[in-house]
Chain A
Amino acid sequence: DTAVSQTPKYLVTQMGNDKSIKCEQNLGHDTMYWYKQDSKKFLKIMFSYNNKELIINETVPNRFSPKSPDKAHLNLHINSLELGDSAVYFCASSQDGDSGRGQFFGPGTRLTVL
């Protein structure tokens, strides 16, 4: 029973392309997140949605656009991919206000831009 799933696991693409990463959680959580983990392993929040509403939008290029069709799904679309976008992207979810049970992370999507 996968709690937070992401597809695809690996994504290799050329500069300038547009790509999407999908995320689904079956935990019934209200809040979902996108994180970026760079080559130095720093994990940084990009976006957060609560019940389909955007609540956190870090300083991320507007080439990145999250979309939440319902509270169980949060997708990430990236336009005009650049070399610096290469990283591992993690989706996560939690109950409202991080009730003490922490955040649940997906397996990650390794994006390589050539």
Chain B
Amino acid sequence: DVKVTQSSRYLVKRTGEKVFLECVQDMDHENMFWYRQDPGLGLRLIYFSYDVKMKEKGDIPEGYSVSREKKERFSLILESASTNQTSMYLCASSWTGVSYEQYFGPGTRLTVT
């Protein structure tokens, strides 16, 4: 079974803090994705990566950065957390050219106070 894990299920941070969300997959997938999910807005793509050290902006990259130093790990970084970044964050991975069959992690519910 493909396994995508995320470092925390629930996280509470203060405004201005630097926040790291980690995602690890064990299927040797080339592609990894970070989404946020908000009520009434659906799933929105923040950043994605097709290879180690490679990143592409998604639809809402502002306020976020990412890091992919190893193939299995994709980190989402909030340089200075703000209350409007309170959300559910979902990581996903897939094989090259097969982005439709994405395997999702369990999600991290981040609250910024």
Do A and B pair up? The answer is no
Seen from chain A, the residues whose Cβ lies within 8 Å of a Cβ on chain B are none
Seen from chain B, the residues whose Cβ lies within 8 Å of a Cβ on chain A are none
